[in-house]
Structure 1
């Protein structure tokens, strides 16, 4: 394994020569980098294909037909991102332990229960012949690269000594299923709510999971858990939380987010429609996104793709632009099952009858270890997660169900008439929004707000699949034994919101509630905070002369509308009375914070002292309000903190909850009466914010900076999976921090700003979500597509394009992906990598 050998040489060098070690590593792995000029013979091509690169390594693939383009697309993706693609495929299939060893078994057990491979195979069978051909060509391109590069893989794959299996035509759909899994956060919130209900009780549970500012606290939803003895489930829930945290460490847990908006041409300065989109993903290397441009004599497309998926997910043609935001869909539910042993298996109670539990087995191949066989158990509500909650020593033992509940996961599987893949792949070939909307309405496999624009109009269509519940909202786990919370099919697409505008209009979404209060269909109970959408709306309404530059400024906007809402409360006389009751010097500190926040303009720039004070106050308020209730329950506190990434109890209490009503939140009451009530809690939080700020930033307030507390840090795939590796390998990866990772850099913004830089409230200020890519399409220009990636094109640390976008991302520099020949000659290299037809073709794995 050449990584160890090279590291041994590097570690002999003095730390003062660390840069030299990095250069040696780059040199040592130079053969793993793809060429940018020359000629390559590829079996399966019918005509030559050329690839030219711009200065950031974005490829322009030109071919005579789409079959050839897809084949070269697969080859290029593999050459840039094979380590990223392999990790996503292994995660989706529940096969990480083949790569990482025994430490990944719990993740594999959990992910195998998601059944993404079965869903991918079924969707592939329903894909039409032309699109199957494209998926096969892409997979063949990946395999042609693998066939000649198994001995020159990127550093992490080489170090793992992992020969990459052949790519399958269905793997693109598999990775799409994994991406959709990351778009829905309610499963993790249901796990969190189960832990909190066990440890704090169901009475306080609904106050910790508000839905939206104008929605009632979900007491009715919590009642279904009242009277249940949840304590026997604590071991299962705690272990499920550990699996959830493991997914977080590899960036598959965090609730993702996004913004998009579009304007009709009469609201723009230059008379062309505008569409803007930025997707919010966990910060890390590589970026999920890979920019690409493809061209044939009939077609031109440009935008952002996901390695492993041959599609421009967000982008444009000369005629049509498309993007999306996450719906924060709630299309997963946990059901509690009453179970008992029966013979060699188990039974579960349903409507007064004991029914047999279906039992199957899964085999896990573990690196360096014998295979592991796990029993899988399934009720009519879905597969039981309990077995994946057990430690390694229990994997071969039967499920212990005496006096315990089973935890069943319900999800919506593809139907036999699902046309999602065909619709997704057809949208870029439409020239007008209405036709694209009709296709978007057929997409079930991914739940998004799809936004579209052509040169005359803009449109919006909700996609996805959502359960129709007999009762309840699905926000918290439901008892399964009486059947009253069962699903009864899925929501009809006739209820999916949609819009089309030709004049004097704009459309936008920012993970906010997309339907009015009381809408007859439940799409989600985990909407994001409304402030980003409110800010977008205000900026779009501010003028009818919008432009490309204005769109860029919007995407970098760092104003938090929540500041103005907070200032309304800060002027409440009750707060001044509470501050006056504080002992010195807390009283002086609280008044100082109150005064400074009242003067704050709400701009969360990285160099702003007031932005630092404001976020210190929010964190202090969260601790002052909630932390004492969790003193004896650290697991529940962690669950609560993790669940606060959607609309949070902290914001709801601060802005909307009154403490004077008889049915007010129990968290207003403290053991010490002098610290009870909203005003007293806010007063103490104001003082604490100053204290914490001075401890971390010094006593000179003018020198405080939000970016000193709030930082961007890009950690690599290797660093993300390091906790699952042997200790010595962890240490080696740690020594290469400067080579593999980037940052820290000062960050502005927070969860409420359009230029999002969220952090985990109540934990620390480390940046969690960022705009991972930005897209702007301006149809007043001959070359309308402008993009930005947050990292680089390559997942290979030895590549010059591994992290070269970070500087432009920080500065707000966009790249144009031109359709015109003049633009391509100006922005793409004159040198070309030419692919020519070969004699034989590698077979592509097919689904039987």
Structure 2
């Protein structure tokens, strides 16, 4: 019996060891994870840093000095470009390796390799969008140019040099949680990261919804409710600006420009809450006598932070700013002569073409009066814990057919049997743009750098020490007829194809406008005199109007003046429409709690500050009113997807068309007036708030209701920062919502001694066990900025430098 007991004990021990060292479902291998020497305990970091460090790194050609400041920002001093980018890759990987690799896995459709079958449809969707092919196309252009080739190879080599120093106990925490290991970095991963950003900012489309609305209601209704230019607008290039080019001919629209009503649901367009602001004031408006530039790109708020601060110095460049972990160079920043920033343009650069296949085999499609071959690409999707899945993606000359009828889809559908034509599939070299921007000395250098840029289209703001300011809504824009792509296009008709590109010099732009400032907030790029079609709908004008009002009034402005504008919480669209809404409320019919709510919003001063109750009531009320007006006609019915008219059109209806037939609810026998729907929606909104938050009290505060969450990239709550108390909101200059907001705030005062200020909601480190994981969050929350340490040489005396490294071959 003793040997049986011994055998059983041995077997039990073996099974226990195997279980503790194996990943079961979403549970990490507990034994490995809790190992005090190699598990998550090894990821704890001390706040203090080693003051001096010298070590040999294979791949460095000459000595590189890296100075770290008190925010753990690296300042890299190299003797040549290659070593500079090598060191950038090394230190970025040291702080952000898991984030970099996870994002490129997502772009490549490879998350299933990490988490198994539950990510299969997500990966399949990424493959069907042609993300890998898009990255490979761009990589060809990047590697064909000697400069961008050097950048990508050196940066990748630096990442790999860091990876080679790691043993399993050194892996970032997320690798241990998910039980996998980092892999060798390649230049393709850099290209994938850029395509991931293009997907975030330029892959939305309303083609299907608008086609369904056109087929159901006709052209007149579409023109009325979905106009090609808004009622309220303050465009990026000021109205009346004279264009300095002779337009090229624009294609003429075919007589039949739409396709039949189509089932399916498009992937949602980029959230209107994902916007951005930038502006630059002239020397005449500045207290310093030199321009001042500001930028705050609004993206999904996440930990680790989307951006990584860095200074890059070698004999031909000295640049500081925000980089994207996984891409070389600085994306938003400044050097001794110039500064620049970006916001998303939001132009229409993705269209869907209805494809006519020859038969069920889908090997040929009809185009230009002939059958053309379909290119079939077999994608192998590896599954953790399962057999690989092969998925065939169909390509036409337009692009990939994302889904065919009857196929399973990821959450939502694109229009089935339609091909995607997307500018991000083009062979582009954005890396070269940022290489040249980092080294720009003047306006001409800036314009040349932009000429290489393709996607996602961005509003590049600019200022320099020569007192020039400018802005270019910039990217590769298809040359289209007006409204081409507002609706689904006919994939059989060559007249519906894109017919080339708007020449770069013809992109909207303005330099040194008489008003003394340039700005953008994702609104229309230009007024109706602009001779090319960029799209029919952009972000609502409220942020842009508010920014321009304040900039116009500024005199003797400082960097702090622009910082305070970034934190502006004034709700301009509420100021525009709320008085009219309040005038319709029947106060005598309200309950006591409803009267309290009415008094709160009637007394509100239109500031979306964190402790205000007014913005909570207004946000809930507006949502209820908007639905009451439009849901009966434009809600999804019988699997036919439509959309509501935008906020600008709805405000115009409330202010100027109180008798509009659209106000009546067609699903009730009564004929509702505007007063009826305003009152009903107010009561519904207040009752819902009371149900969710109790009676009117501080619990109704805007920050509590909005509940800003900065989620970990892998949606791990314990590694996130929840319920951050902030003001702002959608349509506010401080566009901080529940999940989105200013991902990097920067202000740069140009001059003989340039000074920069910045912050983002997190920290330099991607390690949750580090003090530097979220040490900047409170400063960001309060709308404050840190002065950025901008060094001219490694020996500069600066008390904020806390560590000095020396890399040698």
Higher mean C-alpha deviation, range 785-794 or range 652-661: 652-661
Q: Alpha-carbon deviations, 1:629-651, whole Å to 9, x = none? A: 578749778x85xxx8xxx6245
Looking at structure 1, the residues matched to 579 and 196 of structure 2 have their Cα atoms a distance apart, in angstroms, of 43
Which of 407, 414, 433 does residue 423 from structure 1 map onto? 433
Which of 761, 766, 775 does residue 746 from structure 2 map onto? 775
Looking at structure 2, the residues matched to 297 and 359 of structure 1 have their Cα atoms a distance apart, in angstroms, of 48
Looking at structure 2, the residues matched to 32 and 386 of structure 1 have their Cα atoms a distance apart, in angstroms, of 50
Change (3 A) 1:3 1:339: closer
Looking at structure 2, the residues matched to 420 and 433 of structure 1 have their Cα atoms a distance apart, in angstroms, of 19
Deviation at 1:825, TM superposition (A): 3.9
Find the counterpart in structure 1 of residue 782 from structure 2. 811
Looking at structure 2, the residues matched to 388 and 273 of structure 1 have their Cα atoms a distance apart, in angstroms, of 56
1:792 paired to 2:788: no
What does 1:573-612 align with in structure 2 at a 5 Å threshold?
Answer: 576=584, 579-580=585-586, 584-585=589-590, 596-612=600-616
Q: Alpha-carbon deviations, 1:795-836, whole Å to 9, x = none? A: 222222112211111122312223346996435334323222
Change (3 A) 1:294 1:103: same
Contact 1:783 1:816 in 2 (8 A): no
Looking at structure 2, the residues matched to 11 and 177 of structure 1 have their Cα atoms a distance apart, in angstroms, of 33
Deviation at 1:453, TM superposition (A): 0.8
Contact 2:125 2:409 in 1 (8 A): no
Higher mean C-alpha deviation, range 676-685 or range 800-809: 676-685
Looking at structure 1, the residues matched to 490 and 772 of structure 2 have their Cα atoms a distance apart, in angstroms, of 51
Looking at structure 2, the residues matched to 264 and 809 of structure 1 have their Cα atoms a distance apart, in angstroms, of 26
Contact 1:593 1:687 in 2 (8 A): no
3-state SS, counterpart of residue 728 of structure 2: coil
Question: How many residues are matched?
Answer: 757
Which of 673, 682, 687 does residue 686 from structure 1 map onto? 682
Higher mean C-alpha deviation, range 115-124 or range 591-600: 591-600
Deviation at 1:61, TM superposition (A): 1.6
3-state SS, counterpart of residue 452 of structure 1: strand
1:321 paired to 2:339: yes
Q: Alpha-carbon deviations, 1:277-307, whole Å to 9, x = none? A: 0010012211110011122355321110000
1:125 paired to 2:143: yes
Deviation at 1:627, TM superposition (A): 4.0
Deviation at 1:542, TM superposition (A): 1.1
What does 1:189-208 align with in structure 2 at a 5 Å threshold?
Answer: 189-190=206-207
1:513 paired to 2:524: yes
Deviation at 1:708, TM superposition (A): 1.9
Change (3 A) 1:150 1:462: farther
Q: Alpha-carbon deviations, 1:281-334, whole Å to 9, x = none? A: 012211110011122355321110000111110000111101111101211101
Contact 1:783 1:817 in 2 (8 A): no
1:257 paired to 2:269: no
1:28 paired to 2:46: no
Looking at structure 2, the residues matched to 291 and 809 of structure 1 have their Cα atoms a distance apart, in angstroms, of 15
Higher mean C-alpha deviation, range 696-705 or range 24-33: 24-33
1:357 paired to 2:389: no
1:137 paired to 2:154: yes
Q: Alpha-carbon deviations, 1:708-754, whole Å to 9, x = none? A: 211111111222xxxxxxxxxxxxx5xxx3x3111212332211111
Find the counterpart in structure 2 of residue 727 from structure 1. none
Change (3 A) 1:666 1:226: farther
Find the counterpart in structure 2 of residue 828 from structure 1. 800
Which of 48, 55, 58 does residue 40 from structure 1 map onto? 55
Find the counterpart in structure 1 of residue 621 from structure 2. 617
Looking at structure 2, the residues matched to 782 and 560 of structure 1 have their Cα atoms a distance apart, in angstroms, of 36
1:448 paired to 2:458: yes
Contact 1:375 1:387 in 2 (8 A): no
Looking at structure 1, the residues matched to 62 and 601 of structure 2 have their Cα atoms a distance apart, in angstroms, of 65
3-state SS, counterpart of residue 517 of structure 1: coil
1:655 paired to 2:652: yes
Which of 442, 449, 452 does residue 439 from structure 1 map onto? 449
3-state SS, counterpart of residue 105 of structure 2: helix
Looking at structure 1, the residues matched to 579 and 281 of structure 2 have their Cα atoms a distance apart, in angstroms, of 32
Looking at structure 2, the residues matched to 751 and 10 of structure 1 have their Cα atoms a distance apart, in angstroms, of 44
Deviation at 1:225, TM superposition (A): 8.7
3-state SS, counterpart of residue 758 of structure 2: strand
What does 1:326-475 align with in structure 2 at a 5 Å threshold?
Answer: 326-341=344-359, 345-387=362-404, 390-391=407-408, 406-412=417-423, 420-455=430-465, 456-470=467-481, 472-475=483-486
Q: Alpha-carbon deviations, 1:244-273, whole Å to 9, x = none? A: 47xx9xxx8787321000011111112121
Q: Alpha-carbon deviations, 1:549-603, whole Å to 9, x = none? A: 11110010000111221145237xxx54xx44x99336x8777766654543211
Deviation at 1:347, TM superposition (A): 3.3
Contact 1:3 1:155 in 2 (8 A): no
Higher mean C-alpha deviation, range 828-837 or range 207-216: 207-216
Deviation at 1:180, TM superposition (A): 2.0
Looking at structure 2, the residues matched to 26 and 163 of structure 1 have their Cα atoms a distance apart, in angstroms, of 14
1:497 paired to 2:508: yes
Which of 721, 729, 735 does residue 756 from structure 1 map onto? 735
Looking at structure 2, the residues matched to 439 and 392 of structure 1 have their Cα atoms a distance apart, in angstroms, of 40
Where is the helix percentage greater, Structure 1 or Structure 2? 1
TM, length-normalised to structure 2: 0.84
1:55 paired to 2:70: yes
Looking at structure 2, the residues matched to 84 and 22 of structure 1 have their Cα atoms a distance apart, in angstroms, of 24
Change (3 A) 1:485 1:566: same
Change (3 A) 1:489 1:590: farther
3-state SS, counterpart of residue 563 of structure 1: helix
Which of 105, 120, 134 does residue 116 from structure 1 map onto? 134
Contact 1:555 1:755 in 2 (8 A): yes
Find the counterpart in structure 2 of residue 180 from structure 1. 198
What does 1:69-84 align with in structure 2 at a 5 Å threshold?
Answer: 69-84=84-99
Contact 2:28 2:177 in 1 (8 A): no
Q: Alpha-carbon deviations, 1:468-495, whole Å to 9, x = none? A: 2356431232232334432212222232
3-state SS, counterpart of residue 832 of structure 1: strand
1:715 paired to 2:707: no
3-state SS, counterpart of residue 312 of structure 1: coil
Looking at structure 2, the residues matched to 812 and 305 of structure 1 have their Cα atoms a distance apart, in angstroms, of 21
1:561 paired to 2:572: yes
What does 1:149-298 align with in structure 2 at a 5 Å threshold?
Answer: 149=166, 151=168, 152-187=170-205, 189-190=206-207, 212-214=229-231, 228=260, 230=262, 234=263, 237-238=264-265, 244=267, 256-298=274-316
3-state SS, counterpart of residue 675 of structure 2: helix
5+ residue gaps, structure 2: 1-20, 234-252
Change (3 A) 1:116 1:162: farther
3-state SS, counterpart of residue 835 of structure 1: strand
Change (3 A) 1:746 1:198: farther
Looking at structure 2, the residues matched to 100 and 208 of structure 1 have their Cα atoms a distance apart, in angstroms, of 45
Looking at structure 2, the residues matched to 606 and 212 of structure 1 have their Cα atoms a distance apart, in angstroms, of 33
Looking at structure 2, the residues matched to 208 and 660 of structure 1 have their Cα atoms a distance apart, in angstroms, of 12
Contact 2:563 2:784 in 1 (8 A): no
3-state SS, counterpart of residue 500 of structure 2: strand
Change (3 A) 1:583 1:624: farther
Looking at structure 2, the residues matched to 811 and 530 of structure 1 have their Cα atoms a distance apart, in angstroms, of 26
Change (3 A) 1:705 1:830: closer
Deviation at 1:126, TM superposition (A): 3.3
Contact 2:405 2:417 in 1 (8 A): no
Find the counterpart in structure 2 of residue 399 from structure 1. none
Contact 2:36 2:42 in 1 (8 A): no
Change (3 A) 1:11 1:785: closer
Looking at structure 2, the residues matched to 197 and 668 of structure 1 have their Cα atoms a distance apart, in angstroms, of 21
Deviation at 1:45, TM superposition (A): 1.3
Change (3 A) 1:544 1:636: farther
Contact 2:112 2:119 in 1 (8 A): yes
